[in-house]
Amino acid sequence: MSEMAFSEAMKDWVDWDQAAYELGLSLGALTADVPFSKSKRIFWEDNPAGRAFHATLLALVEAGLLESRHDDEQFRWASTKPLNVFDD
């Protein structure tokens, strides 16, 4: 399976649990060999990893990299250029 960048996976509005799954894939904490449908419990059960993924999504919103809507139930990529590309 080919893996896409987190920014590409998040180009359209995505429900929070799918966004957390995409984040986990991008970090290498989850494998694409186990589909989202079989990984949902990580995000729906109360556990440290699920809480950390959600907190990270909120931190990315605060940093301006993600947008959120509907009380943090959906997310999408907001950044228009890489952070390390500077205008001189």
Q: How far is CA 76 from the centre of its chain?
A: 8
Q: What are the sequence ranges of the domains in the chain?
A: 6-77
Assigned token pair, 64: 């301006």
What distance in Å separates the CA atoms of residue 41 and residue 45, rounded to the nearest whole number? Answer: 6
What is the pLDDT at residue 80? 75
What is the pLDDT at residue 40? 93
What is the pLDDT at residue 3? 65
pLDDT mean for each 10 residues of the chain (88 residues): 79 96 95 95 94 96 93 88 76
Q: Which residues of 61-87 are buried (b: 16+ CB within 10 A; e: fewer)?
A: eeeebbebeeeeebbebeeeeeeeeee
Residue 15 identity:
D
What is the pLDDT at residue 1? 44
What is the pLDDT at residue 71? 83
What is the pLDDT at residue 88? 66
